[in-house]
Amino acid sequence: MSASEPPLDTLLEVETPEGIELRADVAGPVPRALAYTLDLLLRSLILGALALLMIPVGGVGIGFYLVLSFLLEWFYPVAFEVFRNGETPGKRRFGLAVVNQDLSPVRIDASLVRNLLRAVDFLPFAYLGGLASMSASRRFQRLGDLAAGTLVVHRVRRPASVALPDARPAAPDAPLRVEDQLAIIDFTQRHKHLSDARQEELANILLPLTGAQGAAAVSRLRGIGNWLLGSR
Amino acid sequence: MKQQDFEARHRAEWGRLDEWLAASARKRPVDDGFPLAYRRLCQHLALARKRRYGSGLVTELNELVLRAHHVLYGERARGESRWLRFLLAGFPQALRANASLVWLATALFVVPGLVLAIACHFDADAIYTVMSSEEVRSLEAMYDSGNDKLGRKRNSGTDLAMFGFYIKNNIGISFRTFAGGMLAGLGSIFFLLYNGVMIGAVAGHLNQAGFAHTFFPFVVGHGAFELTAIVFSGAAGLKLGGALIDPGALRRVEALRVAARDAIVIMYGVFVMLVIAAFLEAFWSSSTMLPVQVKYSVGAGLWVAVIAYCLFSGRRHAA
């Protein structure tokens, strides 16, 4: 870690051998708890179904039931993490995945470490230990993650390639700094995700640039955005 | 180059890679061009960032690179012989590499066990310091020589049901013993001491109460795998604890990760040993049909085999 602390952010950057930086969003306790709850529910359902099917069979059934419940308890997450790209059904539902710290896929060793150590993360009860560890760690790692060198990240859902707003492309009146250009491009591309009122509010801040207020300012900004993106 | 031109020029290429990646999630299609395509994609991402293209495009490319990175650097299926090599050499080598921890775990388990065994042997009431009278009674019932099956009481249970029980119970305990190492080793120490105390007390008490001829033939066989495996999982836990207490030249988190990588190797072996133990306990140890002499001699043979395995197996291939 560099001497100057990076800003507090959930964005993780990892440099690959190709010399580029991969970026991933580290997932916090809330989505992880939700994913865990869903997995727990699924597991309980499977276990309940197994119990209904097998326990009436008697000895053999009970034997199988106990072995399967053992496997479900300890190896359910391991199996999914190793064979399903780090996604248990719960994690998949909430767009999460387990990866190594260098963002490579988890292998069985790391997955086993992080899942066997659930036993301590669970302590004193209801994963309080894990929560404390996540809160104290920069990358939301519970104890099992720290020992295994793994992370839980958000799998970015592919942004549907955005249709640009129809505003007449127009060059800005004055040269813009790079950051400003980027901000305007983002503003233009996110025209479907922000409410009109919010867009106007944002556009009004740039009165000196657009020379307009309200809807006119918005369409002027969109025009600059389109122009910056290469529309003519 | 403006962003839209850039996208128009390369979009088809990204689309092809995207499709290929989606297909490779199921079964890896052969494509020698993939590494090249991946490096081109990396270049595109770097360019897109350098030229400050919009964050939508950069995010999209970043995500594509991530997925391709996963495929390129993911694990390839290796030869079938890996497991065999692990069992013949890897596991005992890992134990010997951590010999001092294994001995420490052995001492933590055996010493209190012996103390309690001796105490309970000479004092019939000593057992009540660690167990309630209810538990002692059911314990004695388990090894009553009138039973046709030894061990835990079997209601409608068959051997297979008990196999399931031993798997769930014993392997769960060993996993927790290992995990307890994260609490600076204290959890592992606790489980080792606790199991030592309980097993020692039970052995001493049953011997004193005249159940020796049913109890010892019962435990001798699977004990060779079960008792050693408990000690080994304790040693694996102590390895984690040791890394936290004395990380040496590394940062604590790094030391922990290195230790966990070694410790998990031991846990694979522990798992295999406990499956064997559960099998023996359910199908072999519990039988009352076999003469006691057979059980003792097979048990002794298993102990010798396990110890010899831990001490000598895989020495020739030592790294």
pLDDT digits (tens, 9 = 90+) for B195-247: 999 999 989 988 888 888 888 888 888 889 999 999 999 999 999 999 999 99
* Strand, coil or helix: B12: helix
Q: Looking at the structure, do residues A111 and A212 belong to the same domain, yes or no?
A: no
pLDDT band at B110 (very low <50, low <70, confident <90, very high): very high
* Domain-terminating residue out of A91, A121, A154: A154
One-letter amino acid of B223: G
Residue A5 lies inside a defined structural domain of this protein: no
On whether residue A1 sits in a domain, the answer given is no
Its domain, for residue A59, covers 11-154
The pLDDT of residue B60 is above 60: yes
Q: Would residue A169 count as lying in a domain? A: no
One domain for residues A187 and A78:
no
Separation between Cα atoms, residue B183 and residue B188, nearest integer Å: 8
Q: Would you state the structure tokens that stand for residue B192, as one six-digit string? A: 């080792």
Looking at the fold, whether A40 and A134 belong to one and the same domain comes out as yes
* Judgement on whether residues A150 and A190 belong to the same structural domain of the protein: no
pLDDT tens profile A54-67: 888 777 888 888 88
Are A139 and A42 found together in one domain? Answer: yes
Evaluate whether residue A139 is within a structural domain.
yes
Q: How far is CA B178 from CA A225, B191, B229, B239, B268, in A?
A: 57, 9, 11, 9, 12
- Nearest beta carbon to residue A109 from set B56, B183, B264: B264
Other C-beta atoms lying within 10 Å of the C-beta of residue B140? 16
pLDDT value, residue A33: 93
Contact A20 B187 (CB under 8 A): no
For residues A219 and A144, membership in a common domain is answered with no
Q: Does B74 score more than 80 pLDDT?
A: no
C-beta atoms of B257 and A146 within 8 A: yes
**Cα–Cα distance measured from residue B61 to residue A104, given in angstroms and rounded to the nearest whole number:** 17
Residues A16 and A129 in one domain: yes
- Concatenate the DSSP letters of all residues of B188-225 into one string: HHHHHHHHHHHHHHHHHHHHHTT-HHHHHHHHHHHHHH
Q: What is the average pLDDT score of chain A?
A: 84
3-state secondary structure A177-218: CHHHHHHHHHHHHCCCCCCHHHHHHHHHHCHHHHCCCHHHHH
Q: Report cis status (omega within 30 of 0) of the bond before A124.
A: yes
Q: Give me the residue spans of the domains in chain B.
A: 3-73, 82-312
Residues of B in contact with A145 (CB under 8 A): none
Angle in degrees, 0-180, between the axes of helices B133-142 and B186-208, rounded to the nearest 10: 70
- Sequence-distant (6+) residues with CB within 8 A of B223 are B277, B299, B303
Tokens standing for residue A211: 């020379």
A66 touches chain B (CB under 8 A): yes
Say how many C-beta atoms besides its own lie within 10 A of residue B59's C-beta: 15
Task: Please report the pLDDT score of residue B266 as a whole number.
Answer: 92
Size of interface A-B (CB pairs under 8 A): 155
> What is the pLDDT at residue B25?
65
For chain A, the domain total comes to 2
DSSP letters, B301-312, are HHHHHHHHHHHH
Instruction: Indicate whether B126 pLDDT > 70.
Output: yes
Q: With 0-12 CB in 10 A as exposed, 13-18 as middle and 19+ as buried, what is B303? A: middle
Q: Which residue of B has its CA nearest to A226?
A: B4
